[in-house]
């Protein structure tokens, strides 16, 4: 990955920390918790709409989903899940890169999109990350994906790189 990525000088936040309970814009009670149950995510991703995939993830098919989850649940990775009752309806993760920063991704089930869950989920993951000592976070997003870019900007991400297929965005959540 590019070693010349720059991060905002301003620290974003404060952010909520898990467990974080809220009512979404459709009146549903949602709670974001640190992930301890990978099985619920397998079902969530099996129900995932192909059009909501991004750059090859989540993969399709139970085996590939499990292999990918193994990777993002490795040591030093952080995962939070948005729960609606017994169902996992959103998942966001931080995975370390080689440069002391973390790559972020977030997925929300189609049935639970456009209700503010993504914002709360993202903010809670960043709050959790800060608690764990993480300072810098980046992500890539398809440049046509305006709703996602808007969400990331709202939380404090800034656009870093506009030269490739995907847009790169970065945020600072703590001082170095």
Q: Residue 38 contacts by C-beta under 8 Å, 6 or more apart in sequence?
A: 69, 73
Residue 58 C-beta: closest distance to other proteins, Å: 9
Residue 28 C-beta: closest distance to other proteins, Å: 27
Interface positions with other proteins (CB under 8 A) = 1, 54-57, 59, 68, 71-72, 93, 95-98, 103-105, 140, 164-166
Residue 95 C-beta: closest distance to other proteins, Å: 4
Question: Between residues 72 and 88, which has the closer beta carbon with respect to other proteins?
Answer: 72
- Alpha-carbon gap, residue 42 to 152, rounded angstroms: 25
Residue 97 C-beta: closest distance to other proteins, Å: 5
- Alpha-carbon gap, residue 110 to 133, rounded angstroms: 32
Question: Between residues 96 and 116, which has the closer beta carbon with respect to other proteins?
Answer: 96
- Alpha-carbon gap, residue 160 to 148, rounded angstroms: 15
In order of 43, 72, 94, 132, 140, the CA distances from 129 in angstroms are 25, 15, 8, 5, 18
Question: Between residues 95 and 174, which has the closer beta carbon with respect to other proteins?
Answer: 95
């Amino acid at each position: 990955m590019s070693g010349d990525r720059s991060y905002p000088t301003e620290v974003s936040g404060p952010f909520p920390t898990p467990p974080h309970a809220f009512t979404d814009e459709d009146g549903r009670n949602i709670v974001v918790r640190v992930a301890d149950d990978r099985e619920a995510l397998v079902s969530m991703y099996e129900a995932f709409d192909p059009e909501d995939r991004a750059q090859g993830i989540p993969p399709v098919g139970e085996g590939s989903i499990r292999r990918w989850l193994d990777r993002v649940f490795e040591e030093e990775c952080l995962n939070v899940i948005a729960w609606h009752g017994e169902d996992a309806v959103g998942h966001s993760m931080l995975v370390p890169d080689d440069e002391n920063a973390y790559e972020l991704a977030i997925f929300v089930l189609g049935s639970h999109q456009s209700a503010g869950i993504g914002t709360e989920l993202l903010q809670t993951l960043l709050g959790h990350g800060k608690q764990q000592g993480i300072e810098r976070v980046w992500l890539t997003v398809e440049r046509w994906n305006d709703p996602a870019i808007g969400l990331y900007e709202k939380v404090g991400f800034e656009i870093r790189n506009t030269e490739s297929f995907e847009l790169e965005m970065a945020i600072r959540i703590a001082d170095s």
